[in-house]
Amino acid sequence: MMIKKNASGSKEESGAVAPSRLIDGRIKELGDWRGKTLAHVRALIKQAVPDVVEEWKWRGVPVWSHDGIICTGETYKSAVKLTFAKGASLKDPKKLFNSSLEGNTRRAIDIHEGVEINADAFKALIRDAAALNGSKKKPR
């Protein structure tokens, strides 16, 4: 089986559907405020970390990675949940994290219909998460 990188930087197996296309499909399939919200945060993630890798894991969860998972983008009936793998280690001066606050590792942002996320604060959080992942890289 051959693995290659597609135009978005995502790794894919030849013959498999690219993760970026699966995410596009999820956004279209939702067809409501959740799809628009997922598309918006996806764009902010790509602005914050242009070489972010999009993945599709756990039977249908969009994942954004850079030297490890930055966050996942799950959609529920009443929220779009962005779970940061190492959120508990990130500073959150604008108090974007509003879910999964009790854990020692993860933190999440639940975005509900009609709620706008602070784009600048969100992009800073994404950049910090990518930097945290990069700081844990082992030298070769």
The arithmetic mean of pLDDT across residues 31-36, rounded, is 95
Q: What is the pTM of this model?
A: 0.84
CA distance 75 to 60: 10
The pLDDT tens digits for 61-89 are 999 999 999 999 999 999 999 999 999 99
State in words which class domain 3-135 has. Answer: alpha beta
Mean pLDDT, the chain, integer: 88
The pLDDT of residue 135 is 86
The pLDDT of residue 6 is 46
Kindly give, in sequence order, each residue whose CB lies less than 8 Å from that of residue 29, ignoring residues fewer than 6 positions away. 35
Q: If pLDDT is split at 50, 70 and 90, which confidence band does 137 have? A: low
Tokens in use for 83? 């779970």
